[in-house]
């Protein structure tokens, strides 16, 4: 241990009086750990918990944000969204996208122990079997549904819906596809807004597949989604609740909060580069220090910060690094590429339903009564996140066969590289070609969704699930204190717009069902007079907004096909550096991503422990 490290750590120990009460006690803080994990969010806490099960292994998590204080906007599902712009949010924006009506969009990103799971909207679902099997087809042995299912199960404990909800909506739970010993409590809301009945009936009327339990790999059609919530208190269960609180008493598990990892410390020569530790900066007192990693550094900062940290540390595209005078440590141009996202296009509707979530904000009496009910019985409107039945629709469900095959032919005829950004590295282009092939083959598949449909209050949100567009995350300075340019280039490939237009047309079919006509549902925006492909495409561009399902920017894959990490999640060209967060997903599943992030992180922990 060098004196400078000791000095650095002494300041850290002294400066975290609040965090210390729950994390590292002053005398406990070590100068080195076997594993140093950057980021205490969904993936980081999962891996930390599992690695620290081995009592002879020491683990440190370094998290930029603080512990939350159990604020109502974090714990109460009906107040979801209340954490955006709070002190638990990085409060950053995505890059300008000139195609969209709103060129710059704020992007909530959790900055707390628990990461984005502290402020997200709690849908806890999985994609379809084929969404994961295609990862393996991209050259990733073992990354398939069968294997991941074990880890999806390991991560969670399912509880059935309350009997009245189960009976009214005929919700069945297939015990063979859920876990019962996992740390994340997951169950269904105890209160469904009455319009849920109409939307379910509308799906039934159209003969849409409703799987017995969408966790079984048939995650298409329409389904009731569980959330990460406690079965008794109905409150949110964050990654902190699940994976930190259950491990915090282990003497070999430490967490350092309010501390930014500013750089990876590398050593060795090209070909045998390793990471000796990390440089950190206190966000409370503007001082810096270092921590040594004896075995590995594990990156879990999320799809924006992880590629940024690699780049500021000299791992990335030499042309980009040179612009910011960063010495190249590992020439790995793929870092930051393959960044993609889901895109929401909200149709505004009106209807005469007498009870909807916005009553909580427009009627103070109703809100007060509902709050009292929540506090007293953990029941009623505030237990709901507002959307419990979600549509995940294959193209052939929303489109007729001629449009489906026309879209597939258009995709097959497209110049694959035409809509990629300038200067996309050759390896990334090769990887994208492989993805493109898989996406296009699966386009007409009956068992894999391309559009999500969310009915929420006065919106029908049509959401793109299998984007063809790809962008990148690139640094805009050499400092982790600055925001990188995170640009998914969503909708740059016109196929994405065309698929969304089909989604809008299908939403209109839904509006015309008897079940929605009963509520006198009518479209307000874009308005029923907007019908041509061109006008609907213009609406998609005007109204499209990030779904905040950021992924893929340090993708897992063969190096010659744009991989940043291999199938063991190791960064190419570095001996002891892994990535375990949402950035490693090669292709987002058609679902909300967090359950997949937790499953991947559970699997990552077993890989690191040499168990698979
Ligand atoms: C508004 C919103 C709503 C969402 N709703 C849902 C939903 O309903 N269902 C769903 O499945 N998914 C949802 N998601 C997505 C889901 O929350 C993420 O996919 C998931 O949390 C990603 O996990 P992660 O481990 O990659 O990153 P995160 O959970 O974001 O964790 C990253 C952590 O690393 C820390 N960190 C980063 N860089 C550094 C650094 N240099 N030094 C120290 N610490 C660092 C961050 O502060 C953060 O705590 C939502 C996301 C958003 C933004
Ligand atoms: C986040 O940004 C918004 C808009 O720029 C601002 O109003 C708000 O104060 C910021 N919040 C924090 C915690 O910095
Ligand atoms: C209830 O769901 C089960 C399982 O999906 C299904 O077999 C059954 O037909 C459904 N019953 C009704 C009345 O819809
Ligand atoms: C809820 O809002 C609707 C209008 O959207 C209104 O007709 C109804 O009276 C409201 N109900 C309550 C309880 O506030
Ligand atoms: C507001 O809510 C109260 C309590 O539910 C209800 O009695 C009242 O009619 C509602 N007001 C309106 C305008 O709907
Ligand atoms: C198929 O749907 C498209 C709209 O996507 C429509 O223009 C076309 O007329 C339909 N074709 C048939 C054969 O129904
Ligand atoms: C990038 O940095 C420059 C110089 O600091 C700044 O002017 C610009 O706004 C930044 N761009 C983005 C997208 O943040
Ligand atoms: C909504 O409109 C339908 C059809 O006109 C009507 O039967 C129903 O009673 C109305 N509901 C409310 C709450 O006004
Ligand atoms: C649809 O109607 C609205 C309101 O009347 C009008 O502003 C808009 O231009 C129309 N759009 C089209 C494509 O006709």
Residues annotated as catalytic are 549, 592
CA distance 86 to 546: 19
- Signed CA dihedral, 263, 265, 268, 272: sign only: negative
User: Does the C-beta of 372 come closer than 6 Å to ligand 5?
Assistant: no
Instruction: Please give the distance, rounded to the nearest whole angstrom, from the Cα atom of residue 504 to the centre of ligand 4.
Output: 27
**Looking at residue 287, what is its pLDDT?**
80
Buried b (16+ CB within 10 A) or exposed e, 181-193: ebbbbbbbbbbbb
What would the two tokens of residue 188 be?
Answer: 């269904």
CA distance 385 to 40: 24
Buried b (16+ CB within 10 A) or exposed e, 204-223: eeeebbbbebbbbbbbbbbb
Digit-coded pLDDT (tens) for 360-407: 999 999 999 999 999 999 999 999 999 999 999 999 999 999 999 999
User: Does the C-beta of 121 come closer than 6 Å to ligand 1?
Assistant: yes
> Which residue lies with its CA nearest to atom 6 of ligand 3?
212
454 falls in which pLDDT band (50, 70, 90)? very high
**Looking at residue 19, what is its pLDDT?**
39
User: Does the C-beta of 226 come closer than 6 Å to ligand 1?
Assistant: no
Can you state the angle between helices 145-155 and 129-137, rounded to 10 degrees?
120
User: Does the C-beta of 170 come closer than 6 Å to ligand 3?
Assistant: yes
Digit-coded pLDDT (tens) for 99-111: 999 889 999 999 9
CA distance 513 to 30: 64
159 falls in which pLDDT band (50, 70, 90)? very high
Give CA torsion, residues 291, 292, 298, 300, to 10 deg: 0
**Looking at residue 496, what is its pLDDT?**
98
246 marked as part of a ligand binding site: no
Residue 515: phi, psi to the nearest 5?
Answer: -65, -35
> Which residue lies with its CA nearest to atom 12 of ligand 5?
363
Instruction: Please give the distance, rounded to the nearest whole angstrom, from the Cα atom of residue 476 to the centre of ligand 7.
Output: 6
User: Does the C-beta of 275 come closer than 6 Å to ligand 7?
Assistant: no
116 marked as part of a ligand binding site: yes
**Looking at residue 285, what is its pLDDT?**
77
Buried b (16+ CB within 10 A) or exposed e, 534-561: eebbebbbebbbbbbbbbbbbbbbbeeb
Distances (CA, A) of 89 to 82, 85, 116, 200, 441: 11, 6, 8, 34, 39
**Looking at residue 24, what is its pLDDT?**
58
| Residue 482 Cα: closest atom of ligand 7 | 14
Instruction: Give bridge partners of residue 288 from the DSSP assignment.
Output: 281
Instruction: Please give the distance, rounded to the nearest whole angstrom, from the Cα atom of residue 345 to the centre of ligand 6.
Output: 22
Coil, strand or helix: which one is 580?
Answer: coil
CA distance 243 to 45: 6
| Residue 527 Cα: closest atom of ligand 9 | 1
CA distance 234 to 186: 10
DSSP H or E run through 200: helix 195-205
Digit-coded pLDDT (tens) for 485-524: 999 999 999 999 999 999 999 999 999 999 999 999 999 9
Phi-psi region of 562 (alpha: psi -120 to 50; beta: other; left: phi over 0): left
**Looking at residue 61, what is its pLDDT?**
97
- Do 467 and 240 form a contact (C-beta atoms < 8 A)? no
Instruction: Give bridge partners of residue 474 from the DSSP assignment.
Output: 485
Q: Which ligand is nearest to the CA of 358?
A: 4
User: Does the C-beta of 39 come closer than 6 Å to ligand 1?
Assistant: yes
Residue with tokens 């994340």: 184
User: Does the C-beta of 166 come closer than 6 Å to ligand 3?
Assistant: no
Percentage with pLDDT > 90 across the chain: 93
CA distance 329 to 573: 9
Say whether pLDDT at 1 is over 70: no
Phi-psi region of 81 (alpha: psi -120 to 50; beta: other; left: phi over 0): left
Which residues in 434-513 belong to E strands, given as ranges?
451-456, 459-464, 471-474, 485-487
- Three-point CA angle 511, 514, 515, nearest 5°: 80
Q: Which ligand is nearest to the CA of 166?
A: 3
Say whether pLDDT at 170 is over 60: yes
Say whether pLDDT at 563 is over 60: yes
Instruction: Please give the distance, rounded to the nearest whole angstrom, from the Cα atom of residue 358 to the centre of ligand 8.
Output: 19
Say whether pLDDT at 28 is over 60: yes
User: Does the C-beta of 476 come closer than 6 Å to ligand 7?
Assistant: yes
CA distance 381 to 441: 43
**Looking at residue 271, what is its pLDDT?**
84
Per-position DSSP letters for 202-256, written without gaps between them: HHHHTT----S-GGGS---EEEEPPBSB-TTT--B--HIIIIITTTTT-TTEEEE
Say whether pLDDT at 15 is over 50: no
| Residue 170 Cα: closest atom of ligand 3 | 1
117 marked as part of a ligand binding site: no
Instruction: Please give the distance, rounded to the nearest whole angstrom, from the Cα atom of residue 397 to the centre of ligand 6.
Output: 13
- Do 259 and 64 form a contact (C-beta atoms < 8 A)? yes
29 falls in which pLDDT band (50, 70, 90)? confident
Say whether pLDDT at 612 is over 60: yes
Say whether pLDDT at 25 is over 60: no
**Looking at residue 83, what is its pLDDT?**
97
Residue with tokens 């050593």: 267
Residue with tokens 């991209």: 138
**Looking at residue 17, what is its pLDDT?**
33
Please confirm whether the linkage preceding 223 is cis (ω < 30° from 0): no
Pocket test for ligand 9, best of 501, 525, 529 (most atoms within 8 A of CB): 529
> Which residue lies with its CA nearest to atom 13 of ligand 4?
366
Q: Which ligand is nearest to the CA of 530?
A: 9
What would the two tokens of residue 384 be?
Answer: 């709901």
Distances (CA, A) of 38 to 115, 217, 292, 328: 11, 32, 13, 21
571 marked as part of a ligand binding site: no
Instruction: Please give the distance, rounded to the nearest whole angstrom, from the Cα atom of residue 302 to the centre of ligand 1.
Output: 6
Instruction: Please give the distance, rounded to the nearest whole angstrom, from the Cα atom of residue 532 to the centre of ligand 9.
Output: 12
> Looking at per-residue confidence, does 181 or 22 come out higher?
181
- Do 576 and 297 form a contact (C-beta atoms < 8 A)? yes
């Amino acid at each position: 241990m060098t004196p400078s490290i000791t000095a650095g750590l002494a300041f850290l120990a002294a400066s975290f009086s609040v965090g210390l009460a729950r994390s590292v006690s002053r005398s406990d803080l070590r100068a080195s750990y076997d594993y140093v994990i950057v980021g205490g969010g969904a993936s980081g806490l999962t891996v930390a918990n599992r690695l620290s099960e081995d009592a002879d292994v020491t683990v440190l998590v370094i998290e930029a944000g603080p512990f939350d204080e159990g604020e109502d906007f974090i714990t109460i599902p009906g107040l979801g969204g209340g954490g955006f712009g709070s002190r638990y949010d990085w409060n950053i924006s995505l890059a300008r996208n000139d195609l969209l009506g709103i060129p710059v969009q704020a992007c909530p990103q959790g900055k707390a122990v628990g990461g984005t799971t502290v402020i997200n909207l709690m849908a806890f679902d999985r994609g379809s079997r084929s969404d994961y099997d295609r990862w393996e087809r991209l050259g990733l042995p073992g990354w398939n549904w069968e294997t991941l299912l074990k880890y999806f199960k390991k991560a969670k404990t399912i509880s059935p819906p309350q009997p009245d909800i189960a009976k009214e909506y005929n919700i069945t739970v297939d015990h063979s596809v859920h876990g019962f010993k996992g740390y994340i409590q997951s169950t269904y809301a105890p209160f469904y807004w009455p319009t849920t009945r109409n939307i379910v009936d509308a799906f039934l009327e159209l003969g849409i597949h409703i799987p017995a339990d969408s966790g079984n790999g048939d995650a298409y059609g329409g389904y009731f989604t569980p959330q990460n919530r406690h079965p008794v208190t109905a409150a949110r269960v964050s990654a902190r609740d699940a994976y930190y609180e259950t491990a915090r008493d282990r003497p070999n598990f430490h967490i350092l909060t309010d501390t930014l990892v500013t750089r990876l410390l590398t050593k060795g020569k090209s070909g045998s580069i390793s990471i000796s530790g990390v440089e950190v900066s206190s966000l409370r007192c503007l001082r810096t220090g270092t921590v040594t990693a004896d075995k590995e550094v594990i990156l879990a900062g999320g799809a924006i910060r992880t590629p940024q940290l690699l780049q500021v540390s000299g791992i990335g595209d030499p042309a980009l690094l040179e612009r910011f005078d960063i010495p190249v440590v590992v020439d790995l141009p793929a870092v930051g590429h393959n960044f993609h996202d889901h895109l929401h296009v909200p149709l505004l509707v009106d209807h005469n339903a007498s009870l909807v979530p916005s009553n909580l904000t427009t009627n103070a009496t109703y809100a007060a009564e509902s709050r009292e009910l929540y506090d007293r019985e953990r029941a009623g409107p505030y237990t709901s996140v507002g959307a419990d039945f979600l549509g995940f629709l294959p193209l052939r469900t929303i489109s007729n066969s001629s449009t489906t095959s026309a879209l597939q032919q258009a995709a097959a005829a497209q110049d694959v590289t035409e809509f990629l950004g300038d200067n996309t590295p050759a390896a990334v282009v090769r990887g994208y070609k492989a993805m493109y092939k898989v996406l296009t083959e699966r386009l007409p598949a009956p068992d894999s969704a391309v559009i999500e449909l969310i009915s929420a209050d006065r919106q029908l949100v049509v959401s793109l699930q299998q984007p063809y567009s790809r962008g990148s995350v690139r640094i805009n300075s050499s400092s982790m204190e600055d925001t990188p340019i995170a640009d998914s280039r969503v909708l740059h490939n016109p196929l994405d717009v065309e698929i969304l237009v089909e989604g809008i047309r299908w939403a209109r079919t839904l509006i015309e069902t008897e079940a929605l006509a009963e509520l006198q549902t009518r479209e307000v925006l874009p308005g029923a007079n907007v019908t041509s492909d061109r006008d609907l495409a213009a609406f998609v561009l005007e109204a499209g907004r990030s779904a905040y399902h950021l992924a893929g920017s340090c993708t897992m894959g063969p190096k010659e096909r744009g991989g940043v990490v291999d199938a063991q999640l190791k960064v190419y060209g570095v001996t002891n550096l892994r990535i375990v967060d949402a950035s490693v997903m090669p292709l987002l599943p058609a679902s909300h991503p967090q359950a997949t992030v937790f499953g991947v992180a559970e699997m990552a922990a077993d890989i690191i422990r040499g168990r698979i």
